[in-house]
C-alpha cells in the first residue's frame, strides 16, 4: 500500500518559526514531525511514499532524500501554487498512476500521531467505502470540527466549532485517511480541501464515508501556543 504525506503548507500562524523552517519540520520528541509520519508508515508496512511540497521544499528534500535512510522510498510533488489537501492528492494521482490502482493513505505531515493505520484498512474492507477517516478524542472541541456517526461508524455529519450542547461528539479529524482511488472522481482540478469541500459534498450526495475513532495520541502544532503545549 502507498501513502501521500501532505507537507506543502506555509504554517503562517507560527510566525517567524516557519520563515526558515517548513512547519512539518518542527521537532517533537527529538525528530521532525514529518519524520514521525514516515516512521508510522514504515511500521505499518507502507514503503512507497509521495510527499507534496511548496514552502521551502529544499529543506525537506535535503533532510529525507529518497527515503533510503528511513527504510522507505520517497518521491516528491512540488506545487507551483498551493492546491489544498484534496487538490494535492488529485495532482499527485495524475502524476503517479500507482495511486489510481489501489487504496492509499493520506496523512497530514504537520500532525504527530501514533494512530493504528490497520484499523482504517479493516473498516474499508468491512464497508467497501470510498473513504475512511481517522478521528481522535478531544475534550474541548469549541475550536475544532467534529463528526457525528451512526452505530456502524458511518459519518452522518460534520459540525464545525460546535457551541455547547450542539453535539455530543468529541471526535476530531486526525488528518489521516484511507481512500479508494474512485474518490478521485469527486475531486475537481485545482485547489480544494477534504474537510471543507470534498467530504461535506460527498455526504450531501449520500456517498458513504466511515470513521475510525482512536484514543491514541494526536498533536497539532498550528500556533505558538500549541507548540508550547505539545513540544518536547
Distances, alpha carbon 224 to alpha carbons 56, 60, 108, 196, in Å? 20, 21, 19, 24
- How do residues 159-179 score in pLDDT, each as one tens digit? 988 888 899 999 999 999 999
Binning pLDDT at 50, 70 and 90, where does residue 215 land?
Answer: confident
What pLDDT, on a 0 to 100 scale, did the predictor assign at position 17? 66
- How do residues 74-113 score in pLDDT, each as one tens digit? 999 999 999 999 999 999 999 999 999 999 999 999 999 9
| CATH code for position 74 | 3.90.550.10
pLDDT at 226 > cutoff 80 = no
What pLDDT, on a 0 to 100 scale, did the predictor assign at position 99? 96
pLDDT at 224 > cutoff 90 = no
Domain that holds residue 30: 2-218
| Position 230 in a domain | no
Collect contacts of 64-68 with beta carbons under 8 A, ≥24 apart.
64/34, 64/35, 64/38, 67/38
CA–CA dist 178, 117 (Å, integer): 9
Q: What is the mean pLDDT of residues 194-221?
A: 92
| Position 74 in a domain | yes
| Position 26 in a domain | yes
The total domain count for the chain is 1
| Position 231 in a domain | no
Residue 43 neighbours by CB under 8 Å, 6+ apart: none
| Position 229 in a domain | no
C-alpha cell at 194: 477534504
Show the beta-strand stretches assigned E in 59-152: 73-78, 104-108, 111-113, 131-137, 145-149
Name beta bridge partners: 172.
136, 146
36 near 29, Cβ under 8 Å? yes
What pLDDT, on a 0 to 100 scale, did the predictor assign at position 42? 98
**In this predicted model, which residue has the larger pLDDT, 18 or 199?**
199
Amino acid at each position: 500500500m502507498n501513502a501521500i504525506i501532505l507537507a506543502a503548507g506555509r504554517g503562517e500562524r507560527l510566525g517567524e518559526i516557519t520563515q526558515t523552517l517548513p512547519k512539518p519540520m518542527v521537532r517533537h520528541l527529538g525528530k521532525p514531525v514529518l519524520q514521525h509520519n514516515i516512521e508510522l508508515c514504515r511500521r505499518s508496512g507502507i514503503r512507497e511514499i509521495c510527499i507534496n511540497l511548496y514552502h521551502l521544499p529544499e529543506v525537506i528534500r535535503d533532510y529525507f532524500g529518497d527515503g533510503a535512510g528511513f527504510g522507505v522510498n520517497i518521491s516528491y510533488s512540488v506545487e507551483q501554487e498551493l492546491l489544498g489537501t484534496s487538490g494535492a492528492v488529485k495532482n499527485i494521482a495524475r502524476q503517479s498512476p500507482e495511486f489510481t490502482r489501489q487504496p492509499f493513505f493520506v496523512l497530514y505531515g504537520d500532525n504527530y500521531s501514533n494512530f493504528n493505520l490497520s484499523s482504517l484498512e479493516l473498516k474499508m474492507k468491512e464497508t467497501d467505502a470510498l473513504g475512511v477517516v481517522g478521528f481522535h478524542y478531544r475534550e474541548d472541541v469549541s475550536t475544532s470540527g467534529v463528526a457525528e456517526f451512526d452505530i456502524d461508524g458511518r459519518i452522518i455529519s460534520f459540525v464545525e466549532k460546535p457551541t455547547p450542547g450542539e453535539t455530543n461528539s468529541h471526535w476530531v479529524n486526525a488528518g489521516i485517511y484511507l481512500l479508494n482511488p474512485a474518490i478521485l472522481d469527486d475531486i475537481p482540478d485545482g485547489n480544494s480541501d477534504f474537510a471543507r469541500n470534498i467530504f461535506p459534498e460527498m455526504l450531501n450526495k449520500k456517498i458513504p464515508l466511515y470513521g475510525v475513532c482512536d484514543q491514541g495520541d494526536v498533536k497539532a502544532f498550528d500556533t505558538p501556543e500549541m507548540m508550547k503545549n505539545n513540544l518536547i
